[in-house]
């Protein structure tokens, strides 16, 4: 399986793919439905296939979920993973996954995560996500 960074963006922008991945991971989290069922319904509703980059992000999150969740839990000072809203968890998982790849640059992964949290959660959620992802980037030597 290709990593998200290896997938070409021939079927949509990465921003759209990131948004789709976050929304589908969120749906999976709150409904408990299998991802394949969620993806199939998404493709029917959108009248097009899920972009390859979105699929790669979803697959990567599934493959590394335990490690991603452990990192979120460690970095979310005073918050357990279960207390973090599902949309924020999805944003954090995708952003942390992207930080572990060469592409996109860390600054892009952080900015996109903050934008998603701002749009689908709240300004407070965006600040929370920014803090966690920025700290993770610094730990990886990819941030200030």
Q: Is residue 144 part of a domain?
A: no
The least confident of 3-7, 13-17, 29-33, 66-70 is: 3-7
Structure confidence at residue 12 (pLDDT): 62
Structure confidence at residue 50 (pLDDT): 96
Structure confidence at residue 142 (pLDDT): 84
CATH number for position 45: 1.10.940.10
Q: Is residue 42 part of a domain?
A: yes
Q: Is residue 40 part of a domain?
A: yes
Rounded to two decimals, the pTM is 0.90
Burial of 50 (0-12, 13-18, 19+ CB in 10 A): buried
Q: Is residue 17 part of a domain?
A: yes
Look at residue 53 and give its three-state secondary structure.
helix
Q: What are phi and psi of 140, to 5 degrees?
A: -85, 0
Q: Is residue 5 part of a domain?
A: no
Check if the beta carbon of residue 72 is closer than 8 Å to that of residue 25.
no
Closest C-alpha to 17, from 92, 116, 99, 102: 116
Count structural domains, the chain: 1
């Amino acid at each position: 399986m290709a990593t998200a960074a290896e997938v070409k963006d021939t079927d949509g922008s990465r921003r759209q793919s990131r948004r789709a991945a976050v929304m589908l991971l969120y749906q999976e989290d709150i409904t408990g439905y299998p991802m394949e069922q969620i993806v199939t319904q998404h493709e029917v509703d959108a009248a097009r296939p899920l972009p390859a980059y979105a699929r790669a992000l979803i697959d990567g999150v599934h493959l590394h979920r335990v490690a991603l969740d452990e990192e979120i839990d460690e970095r979310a000072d005073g918050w357990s993973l279960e207390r973090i809203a599902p949309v924020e968890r999805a944003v954090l998982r995708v952003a942390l996954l992207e930080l572990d790849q060469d592409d996109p640059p860390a600054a892009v992964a952080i900015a996109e995560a903050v934008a998603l949290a701002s749009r689908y959660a709240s300004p407070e959620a965006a600040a929370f996500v920014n803090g966690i992802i920025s700290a993770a980037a610094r730990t990886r030597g990819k941030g200030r």
